[in-house]
Amino acid sequence: MSDKVHLGHRARKRFGQNFLNDAMIIDKIVTAIDPKPQDNLVEIGPGLGAITEPVAALSGHLTVVELDMDLAERLTQHPFLASKLTVHQGDAMKFDFSSLIKEGEKLKIFGNLPYNVSTPLLFHLFEFVDNVEHMHFMLQKEVVNRMVASPGSKAFGRLSVMTQYYCYAMPVIEVPPTCFKPAPKVDSAVVRLMPKPAEQRSAKCTKLLNTVCLEAFNQRRKTLRNSLSNLLTEAEIAGLGIDAGLRAENLSLNQFIEIANFIYDKQH
C-alpha cells in the first residue's frame, strides 16, 4: 500500500500531513504534555488522532482545531474520541484561542504542527501567551534549533528573538523521519514553550520589536549602522551603548528590546 495512505486516509501535502506512527515517540510526547483531567487542553492539527487518543484517555476532554474537513468530520464520528472532543474545523492561524478560556484558567496547547505554516502559526500563538500555561509542538528540527538559538550562533534570527521574548523554549524530544507516515524529508523535534510572565516582556510594542528583527536580520551580514538605518541613526545606536559595527546576530534579546523601545519613544 502507498506510504501516503494511513488508516484509510490519503495524506494531503497541502495541509502538511505527516502522521505520527511510532508508539514510543507518541508516549514520550504525551509524557511531556502530562495531561490531567482538570486541564484545558487544546490540540492543533489532531489529524487521525495519534496524540489525541492517549491525551483524551488521560484528560477526559480536549478541544481540537483541524483544517482538513474530512479529518475533522472523521473525529466527530470516532468511536472512542467523539464524546471527548470539541472539534473546531478551521484554520488555527485564524483561531481565537482566548475564546476557549474559562475564568482564571490557562490553556495547555500542543500539536504535531503542519511544517509548511509553522512559523506564521507560532507567531499567531505568541499573541495568546497570557492565556497559556505551556505549549508542546513537533516541528522541523531546524526550526526548533532556530527557536532556541543563542546570540552569536548561525541559527540566531528573528524566530529566536521573538520566541525567547515570549517564552522559555527548550527542545525535549528528537524525532527521525521514520516515525511518520508518510516520512518527511527532514528531522523533527518537539519543543516545550513556557510563556514568560508579562512583567518580563518589556517591549512597549511587540510589532515594533518584530520590525526591528526583520530589518536587522534581513541582510544579516550587514552591520547595524546599515541594516537599521531606516529606523535609527548610528549616533542613536551608540547612545544605547550598542556598537553600531556589530551585526544583528551579536545582539542580545534585551538589546533588541532596548532598540525597539527607543524607536517607540521617538515615534510617540
The residue nearest ligand SAM at its CB is 45
Has 45 been labeled as part of a binding site? yes
Has 66 been labeled as part of a binding site? yes
For ligand SAM, give the closer residue by CB, 46 or 54.
46
Binding residues for ligand SAM, total number by CB under 6 A: 24
Q: Name the residue with cell 475564546.
A: 99
Point out which span in 14-22, 127-135, 167-175, 211-219 binds ligand SAM (CB under 6 A).
14-22
Burial environment of residue 225 by CB neighbours within 10 A (0 to 12, 13 to 18, 19 or more): middle
H-assigned helices in 137-252: 141-148, 158-166, 206-218, 224-227, 234-239
Peptide bond between residue 182 and the one before it cis (omega within 30 degrees of 0): yes
Distance CA 197, CA 167 (A): 9
Has 236 been labeled as part of a binding site? no
Distance CA 257, CA 41 (A): 32
Tell whether residue 63 is a contact of ligand SAM (CB under 6 A).
no
Min separation Cβ 208 and ligand SAM, Å? 27
Q: Which of 55, 56, 67, 208 binds ligand SAM (CB under 6 A)?
A: 67
For ligand SAM, give the closer residue by CB, 35 or 47.
47
Tell whether residue 42 is a contact of ligand SAM (CB under 6 A).
no
Tell whether residue 258 is a contact of ligand SAM (CB under 6 A).
no
How far is CA 84 from each of CA 80, 112, 132, 223, 247, rounded to the nearest angstrom?
A: 8, 19, 21, 54, 51
Q: 206-235 mask for ligand SAM (x: CB under 6 A)?
A: ------------------------------
Where in 109-138 is the site for ligand SAM (CB under 6 A)?
112, 114, 117
Has 18 been labeled as part of a binding site? yes
User: Which of 39, 40, 100, 51 lies closest to 75 in space, CA to CA?
Assistant: 51
For residue 78, the number of C-alpha atoms closer than 13 Å in the C-beta half-sphere is 24
Give the binding site for ligand SAM (CB under 6 A): 15-20, 44-48, 50-51, 65-68, 71, 91-93, 112, 114, 117
